[in-house]
Amino acid sequence: MANPVNVAIAGATGAVGVEMLLTLEKRNFPVKNLKLLASARSVGKTFKFHGETVAVEEMTEDSFKGVDIALFSAGASISKQFRAAVTAAGAVMIDNSSAFRMEDDVPLVVPEVNAADVFLHKGVIANPNCTTAIMCAPVWPLHQAKGLRRMVVSTYQAASGGGQKAMNELMEQTRAILEGKPAEVKVMAQQIAFNLFPHIDVFQPNGYTKEEMKMVNETRKIMHLPNVKISCTSVRVPVMRAHSESINLEFENEITPEEAREILAKAPGVQLRDDPENKIYPMPMEATGMYDVLVGRIRQDISRDDKRGLDIFISGDQLLKGAALNAVQIAEVLVNGK
């Protein structure tokens, strides 16, 4: 067991912050002292951690004195604001926002893929975008075996990706429609109840959204594949939490569905759900609350004349593997030294 360390959670009252706290407890992370940090309006709220009551404190420049690891999920602007204070205090920031992911000297880590990159940090380690982290767990072992050349992804992203307010909006709109009332759009780009829309984050000059380009650029960095070809379409769907992805893969070498199942059955962070005859396949309803990414619908790409193409479908909890769990796993690598 690693020596206990002092941990702070910045953004402790948000959806991801709450999951970080629960994940630290469930995984018996070696916490010596715990600080829960948020904005002034959250001061006074309390949470339980291993039976003890911990009060939320206002996050200030002085909050990180004596802290070893600071788990951040307070938004990119807050991460940028407090970066210097965290690193000056000698703490390591594990940041869940998009603030630093593409900086050259900031490791971007999915522990099942590139855990060794953790030790290249200069005070900050970045957590990937949720869809990227969820996708990497099953695709990486397939790449190791067969060499990934190209990937086309369609994501089906839950309301949780937009935070607690987006989740509330899905519930409120659904309730309103069932009661014969109009659905109010306040948080998301469009009505989400009984609908879906291909618009997550802002559109870029190339016609892709920022969310879609995160999948492209972050995957290349995490997998150390700067030239791999990736295209993505990101869709918001009326699911509370857990993202799903339809992935078409092209490899350097031939691969059969049977080979893929054998590889994925042994892969860390992955569970097979691949028995369509018995209606067993990945679903966000089942993936919710699970640490592992579910993978199924594994089949040969019949649009090709060879066997270098594969189609898979995955589901993973956006708040866990897509955020809080991945951050805690990075912290575990740090404290265990491997």
CA distance 156 to 224: 25
* Beta strand segments in the chain, E: 5-10, 31-38, 46-49, 52-58, 69-72, 92-95, 124-126, 148-157, 229-236, 243-251, 270-272, 293-300, 309-316
Its sign, for the CA torsion 26, 281, 271, 106, is negative
Residue of 121, 136, 143, 243 marked catalytic:
243
Residue of 121, 130, 143, 232 marked catalytic:
130
Q: What is the amino acid identity at position 48?
A: K
Q: Is 243 a catalytic residue?
A: yes
Task: State in Å, rounded, how far the first CA of the chain is from the last one.
Answer: 13
CA distance 269 to 285: 18
Long-range contacts of 15-18, Cβ-Cβ distance < 8 Å, separation of 24 or more: 15/160, 15/163, 15/164, 15/167, 15/319, 16/73, 16/96, 16/319, 16/323, 16/324, 17/71, 17/73, 17/74, 17/324, 18/47
- Residue labelled with tokens 């590139």: 114
Return the DSSP state at 209: B
Cβ atoms within 10 Å, residue 43? 13
The closest alpha carbon to 239, from 156, 129, 131, 316, belongs to 156
Q: Which residues are catalytic?
A: 130, 243
